[in-house]
Structure 1
């Protein structure tokens, strides 16, 4: 824990050195159980990855439903900040998606059994059969990518179709597009699979390519989708539940500047060849607490307008 906090503090210093204001959450005690009238878990998750919980769209920050029971109360870590934003900015809107009950009806029983092999899981994900059911709207914020007036949302373990429909109803002035990546047996969050770098350029995990039918909207609007570089590591660090593809979980500061984990030399080299300034950030020893550079940040204010990056969509 101390090492992870040290690395996060150093990352904050690097961002602040670039003139970026960094706010930190107020951590609750995640060792406590989470209990509602519908479920009980012996402990909770943490607050290292705000990207999973908070979705900023325009002047609004939306709290996601979350789909893990151990993450049901995670929004509490961010309430002091959101209350401050509300007090400071009269244009700020704090919205909350309906909290799900997360009863057993929300999950396919025994879906995550160790007896089920990877081949069967890949077959299931290709058929869009995931651990979560359509009992009620579910989504994690880290399944959503923002492209100006378009939102691209991954349908997978942590976001169901009802969750995507809820987002479309909630953001009627945005176009919401559903994507999935059949090569991923555990599709949890989109930001180690599909990473926009700047207008017209996206990194795609070469093991989880976007299907041709879903790729069409990007091709018609002159977006280039390139395979991400291979990870520098053959396995994730101890206790990390993510894959080695956190290598492409980068944080884009602007269209010319990107933060890359320090040990991911191949990804950094690719970014350099793509014409981007690379900021090396040491974070691998913090991965176990919730993910990489993109996961552990959630931008709440960026300069610019809401642009249409897909003008050729019908």
Structure 2
């Protein structure tokens, strides 16, 4: 068997867990600022260092995650480590590569197919090179392996319209953008973490014109095998801190407002609402520390099966909420979830789950 994963909850057999070692800085370029809506953060800086202590503690916590999955009987794979920060250049930009930490973002498992999605942040353009040996391993076992068209990611590749309505004085105007770019216009860019899998049905969040192009590509590529449901601007990008399906018939939601974006069949599912964030559950940071995620990041849990989830031990009220709804919770520590842009769902790519095909859970 190659890869085999159609949903977010079936019994987990194999998983890739990210590797954060060497995460030392953020590149504060146009793509990063657009993705994180961070135009007013350190406007005069091009890079921002991450304190070594935070990365060391993150590495400890991710190793605890990998160990918990192995203890649960899951076969755990790891990407290659980035040996050192590597500067990369294209005709249109330069950046420094990132480690393969939030690996959910750029690879989508659709049944027996690996789809490398089109990146949105330049520093992550070559991140999947660190996963290529694993993808090759699954290809040798019979997996299909596809990549979305790769964007040039010139300044003019990005849809700036929404950002300009939010921060008109901070977002570059057309006159500010590089004149000698690729000239391709707005390009296809869509992170895999903008998608959630419900068997035959796939939810896709679309907030920009380049997201819409990526959603159209998925629909054309998979044809009638899957049904894609486009949700318009549920979130700026990723949706796994807005909702996660924990098993057929049960959703974990940020709040009742999320229902307005969901397809009608999901309105009848049971709903678990994540507790209101308690900022006392988060570390205090200094003026040069950049938080990348909102306070609901702890609902970014990983399902091991329909009754078992891995959740952050640093969010005890969420753990108790899940337990009160009958879930067995495996608590794993994750201290700096707001600094590195992800939780346990983001850090993992479930390559093999039990199941024989795309089941219809929408009726």
The answer, yes or no, to whether TM exceeds 0.5 is yes
CA positional deviation for 1:94: 1.4
Give aligned pairs, total: 287
Give, in whole Å, the separation in 2 of the partners of 1:256 and 1:235.
Answer: 25
Tell me the residue number matched to 1:82.
Answer: 135
Give, in whole Å, the separation in 2 of the partners of 1:108 and 1:203.
Answer: 30
Give the number of the structure with larger relative contact order, counting CA–CA contacts within 8 Å between residues 6 or more apart: 2
Q: Which has the higher strand share?
A: 2
Where 1:299 maps in the other structure, the secondary structure is: strand
CA positional deviation for 1:226: 3.8
Of residues 151-160 and 294-303 in structure 1, the stretch that sits farther from structure 2 once superposed is: 151-160
Structure 1 position 279 matched with structure 2 position 330: yes
Pick the aligned partner of 1:56 from 78, 94, 109: 109
For residues 45-64 of structure 1, give each alpha carbon's deviation from its aligned partner in whole angstroms, at most 9, with x where no partner exists. 33111101111111111111
* Contact 2:241 2:299 (8 Å CA) reproduced: yes
Tell me the residue number matched to 1:3.
Answer: 57
Give, in whole Å, the separation in 2 of the partners of 1:285 and 1:224.
Answer: 31
* Contact 2:107 2:115 (8 Å CA) reproduced: yes
Tell me the residue number matched to 1:250.
Answer: 301
Tell me the residue number matched to 1:127.
Answer: none
Where 2:321 maps in the other structure, the secondary structure is: helix
The runs of 5 or more residues in structure 1 that have no matched partner are 118-132
Pick the aligned partner of 1:267 from 318, 324, 327: 318
CA positional deviation for 1:286: 5.4
Give, in whole Å, the separation in 2 of the partners of 1:171 and 1:54.
Answer: 15
Q: TM-score, normalised by structure 1?
A: 0.83
Tell me the residue number matched to 2:264.
Answer: 216
Tell me the residue number matched to 1:188.
Answer: 237
Alpha carbons of 1:163 and 1:109: their partners in 2 closer, same or farther (altered >3 Å)?
closer
Alpha carbons of 1:7 and 1:114: their partners in 2 closer, same or farther (altered >3 Å)?
farther
Pick the aligned partner of 1:25 from 79, 94, 100: 79
* Contact 1:134 1:162 (8 Å CA) reproduced: no
For residues 140-168 of structure 1, give each alpha carbon's deviation from its aligned partner in whole angstroms, at most 9, with x where no partner exists. 01111000011101112696111100011
Runs of 4+ in 1 over 6 A off after TM superposition: none
Alpha carbons of 1:188 and 1:208: their partners in 2 closer, same or farther (altered >3 Å)?
farther
For residues 252-289 of structure 1, give each alpha carbon's deviation from its aligned partner in whole angstroms, at most 9, with x where no partner exists. 11110011100111111110111101111101235523
Alpha carbons of 1:235 and 1:272: their partners in 2 closer, same or farther (altered >3 Å)?
closer
Pick the aligned partner of 2:228 from 176, 193, 196: 176
Alpha carbons of 1:116 and 1:235: their partners in 2 closer, same or farther (altered >3 Å)?
farther
CA RMSD between the two structures? 2.6
The runs of 5 or more residues in structure 2 that have no matched partner are 1-54, 169-183
Give, in whole Å, the separation in 2 of the partners of 1:114 and 1:148.
Answer: 36
